Amino acid sequence: MSSLALLLLLAPVNAWADEPVTYTEHIAPILWKHCAACHRPGEIAPFSLLSYKDAAKRANFIASITADRTMPPWKPEPGHGDFSGARRLSNAEIDLLARWAKTGAAEGDPKHLPPAPKFTEGWQLGQPDLVLKMPESFKVPAGGADIYQCFVIPIPLDRDRTVSAVEFRPGNTRVVHHALLFLDSTGAARKKAEAEKGPGFRSFGGPGVTVTGMLGGWVPGQVPQHFPEGIGLSLKKGSDLVLQIHYHPSGKAETDQSQLGIYFNKKPAEKLIAPLVLRTRDIDIPPGEKRYQRTVTTPPIPVDVYAVGISPHMHYLGREMKAWAELPGGKTERLIWIKDWDFNWQGSYLFAKPVRLPKGTILKLEAYYDNSADNPFNPSNPPKRVRFGEETTDEMCLCPVTVYTDRREDSAALMKWQGLGLGSDLETAGAMAAASIPTDKLVPPGGVPIPERYKAVLQQFDVDGDGKLTVAEIDAMPVLVRNKVKAAIKQYRDKQADPPKK
Ligand code: HEC
């Protein structure tokens, strides 16, 4: 290669550094492509960036906020997961914005202006097969703390279906900050809503009940998408949608009535979406601790899966979360790395192409928390001890990987393996009930002795070999085993509390 060609390759932007940067030729295409989804009237951002005037008066601000990559908001680190709809400016684009600001934000020749962007009004994926709307509008006061409200909406289905896509439409973008979409087929959420005044119920971290599925989540600017052809999410007849919305008061009293569009597969999908959940409830962060670490390692997965999405979740102390897969052949597949966690910009990310994780793959998760006073998001001042829980002041370490399997049986096997049974057999129901109880509420500090008859199975989890299972040892178990063990301990304790009459 000639040295000139090499130079051009190395410095594609500087090569043209003398050419004036103008709005019509260089800047409008960047802002329309990367910013206008949110920065246009009616969308979530505080101002529009559609016109020359809008952009020119903020040229310096735009230059600095793109240089430090605060905007556009996009949390995953490059090289860790290839996501569809990734919002990342190239270095060349950032450079153009900087040069435009520095050289006086010229407009340029209007004939260079490309055709204005067209935005689909209404449903981005077209008219949904089913629209679930909050039955009444919800009042958000002008000020005060953020509100996390769960609305329970029955899903009218005459048979089990499979879902190819969902699209969430906030009723009021001034106050709807983000939404999580849970499914409940047990009626637990419905009961909780009935017990509270007003529509739905309050719950910060999760839905506050053990849910039976998830339809994903929504953050501003998220582009709805269909799963690849033939892949779907099972939606059982009789399920409720538990729509958790995070409201951020706007300074003015507002109302919201959001809705969710559901798109079914044309033909019931054979390849079913299932969550492969990486999590631990073993969280106990001392006050002042700056870099508290949690790791999660799954046992080898029992079937081949294809990962289509991933949704890291922590609360306000969370700083960093990384997930990866170690394949049986020794290859590592990086799934995601959020290096600068921001609770307010948590997303459900979809991979650009499904990531194959063969049977035997081990999934790993690493998370860091900052419980010092230096963490500006720390909800407690002074910092205090923080444990697992669903409140604003608790923490979570959770990362569902959305996967599908080649065969329906495999999906059921995967759910069963994790203790998220699909059936309603008593054993599973017991395990699900026990799953929501923090282990330290069941197990005394010294641990519980392993009964002789279970030694063969459970000994491998007794890491320190003292014949007892401690909270940490139980929480480190595979989910299915852990929930069964917890259910058994609970049953044992309930019996002791209420001894059978002779
Ligand atoms: C996904 C939606 C979204 C996209 C895409 C987006 N923004 Fe923003 N932007 C916001 C929101 C929301 C705010 C308000 C501040 C916040 O909540 O973080 C904001 C705030 C800003 C601010 C003001 C920041 C402040 O501190 O007041 C600037 C400047 C800005 N954006 C520029 C841009 C530029 C330039 C782009 C494209 C390169 C862009 N944004 C893309 C949502 C977006």
Task: Report pLDDT digits (tens) over 163-176.
Answer: 999 999 999 988 88
Query: Is 289:338 a contact under the CB 8 Å cutoff?
Result: no
Report the phi/psi class of residue 232: left, alpha or beta, with left for phi > 0 and alpha for psi in -120 to 50: beta
> Distance (Å, rounded) from C-alpha 261 to C-alpha 125?
9
The closest of 95, 245, 279 to 176, measured between CA atoms, is 245
Strands 292-297 and 386-387: unpaired
Q: Where are the domains of the chain?
A: 16-112, 124-269, 271-419, 424-497
**Nearest atom within ligand 1 for CA of residue 219:** 1
Least reliable range by pLDDT among 87-91, 210-214, 236-240, 377-381: 210-214
pLDDT in tens, 203-261: 876 677 777 778 888 877 777 889 888 999 989 899 999 999 989 888 899 999 999 99
317 CA → ligand 1 middle, Å: 23
C-alpha 132 to ligand 1 mean position (Å): 29
Both tokens assigned to 189: 């959420």
Question: How close is the Cα of 45 to the center of ligand 1, in Å?
Answer: 6
- Which residue's CA is minimally distant from atom 9 of ligand 1? 45
User: Tokens for 448?
Assistant: 């519980």
Highest averaged pLDDT of the listed ranges 113-122, 263-272, 345-354, 493-502: 263-272
pLDDT in tens, 99-121: 999 999 999 999 999 999 988 88
Residue 382 in this model has a pLDDT that exceeds 90: yes
Q: Is 174 in the pocket of ligand 1 (CB under 6 A)?
A: no
Answer yes or no: is pLDDT of 376 > 50: yes
C-alpha 87 – ligand 1 centre gap (Å)? 12
Mutate to test the pocket of ligand 1, among 32, 33, 38 (most ligand atoms within 8 A of CB): 38
Distance 117 CA to ligand 1 centre (A): 18
Distance 110 CA to ligand 1 centre (A): 26
Question: If you take atom 27 of ligand 1, which residue's CA is the nearest one?
Answer: 46
- Same CATH topology for 124-269 and 271-419? yes
Residue closest to 119 by CA, chosen among 226, 38, 218, 62:
38
CATH, range 271-419? 2.60.120.230
Q: Give the confidence band of 3 by pLDDT, cuts at 50, 70, 90.
A: very low
Predicted confidence (pLDDT) at residue 192 exceeds the cutoff of 60: yes
At residue 429, does pLDDT exceed 70?
no
Q: What fold does the segment set 124-269 form as a domain? A: Jelly Rolls (2.60.120)
Going from the Cα of 226 to the center of ligand 1, the distance in angstroms, rounded, reads 26
State both tokens at 450. 């392993």
pLDDT at residue 411 in the model: 84
Residue 37 in contact with ligand 1 by CB distance below 6 A: yes
Tokens representing 21 are 């940067």
Q: For ligand 1, pick from 52, 69, 71, 168 the residue to mutate: most ligand atoms within 8 Å of CB.
A: 71
pLDDT of 18 > 70? The answer is: no
Query: Is 420 a residue whose pLDDT tops 60?
Result: no
| pLDDT of amino acid 502 | 42
Cβ(389)–Cβ(438) below 8 Å: yes
**pLDDT number for residue 424:** 28
Q: What is the mean pLDDT of the chain?
A: 86
Q: What is the pTM of this model?
A: 0.75
